[in-house]
A = this chain, B = another copy of it.
């Protein structure tokens, strides 16, 4: 068989581990041929690809990023891909395509699948917000990086009697904020799922100070926002890449808290360090398992589906199911976190 692999969307630790696993399983388990398309769907459309053998994936397990590159693509070109996908499949002699990516990529994968391409998807997002899978690789690494930062910030906050506002990734779902906030021992967590009232944070900080704990760490997802009427806030200017330049909620909230509390409040915007670099052991294992199961699915002809973690098992779930709804933080998980503030 000839299997095509591509990585699309944002960076995510573990991508290389999937690629390596697909190549190992396909070539040593089945004598397949694997080719890797460069820069996501772009490579598929433009015919940029290279053969991937054991040597090509040697030493990449622990490396961040993706050896295949990744790039954004306009919707128009994706539709073009879907229309031509049978022709593309024939051109490259593909028996299966394994796209590794987030919600956008899996939606595209579904389009291709619907149009006749034999597709097995592998979900990827540091945000952990894809339905149908308990976890996605990359998420544990992001949480780990954010937790280590909070471990460091706590001592600074404590020594200087400061409030630290740590902004972590998560535009639409607050999983990273939830888990890194719990693991880092944050005293407040703000999620996109639940508009916050700055007055509650002020109260929490003042209570802490009043019982001698003269510092606080607040963990804020970049997509968190105040409840209507609770804070003078409008979203910052959005640049062409979808980022709120320098006026994100972390910076804003630190200013607001400083004003209300009359105490130093400092923002720390963790940014891209959360999504780069070597994956944690957890993410390497999950990514490797996803790669293995993707190849198995290819050989079973189990197309139009993607790998998913369910408990301790990796199973195949319909692509359709995975992309219809974002997996957000449920109220009871937030309640657990709040109890240890």
Which positions in A face B, CB cutoff 8 Å?
Answer: 10-11, 15, 20-21, 24-25, 28-29, 58, 61-66, 69-71, 134-135, 140, 143-149, 151-161, 164, 179-180, 182-185, 213, 241, 245-247, 251, 255, 264, 266-269, 271-273, 275-278, 280-282, 284-285, 288-289, 292-293, 310-312, 336, 339-340
Contact = CB atoms under 8 A, between A and B. Distances in A.
A64 B153 CA distance: 9
A246 B241 contact: no
Given A185-B62, A339-B28, A140 B282 contact: yes
A271 B11 CA distance: 23
Q: Which label, helix, strand, loop or mixed, suits the secondary structure of the A interface? A: helix
A183 B140 CA distance: 14
Each complex incorporates copies of this chain amounting to 4
A339 B160 contact: no
Given A58-B213, A69-B159, A213-B58, A153 B281 contact: no
26 contacts: A11-B156, A25-B340, A29-B339, A58-B213, A61-B185, A63-B155, A64-B154, A69-B161, A71-B160, A134-B311, A143-B285, A152-B273, A152-B276, A152-B277, A155-B276, A155-B277, A164-B272, A182-B284, A182-B288, A183-B285, A241-B264, A266-B271, A267-B271, A268-B273, A280-B280, A311-B311
Contacts of A179: 281, 285
A79 to B, nearest CB: 23
B151 A21 contact: no
A159 B284 contact: no
A25 B339 CA distance: 5
Contacts of A144: 280-282
A336 B289 contact: yes
Nearest to A54: B211
Contacts of A277: 148, 151-156
Interface centre among A267, A268, A269, A336 (most CB of B within 10 A): A336
A256 to B, nearest CB: 13
A16 to B, nearest CB: 9
B339 A24 contact: yes
A179 B289 CA distance: 11
A217 to B, nearest CB: 11
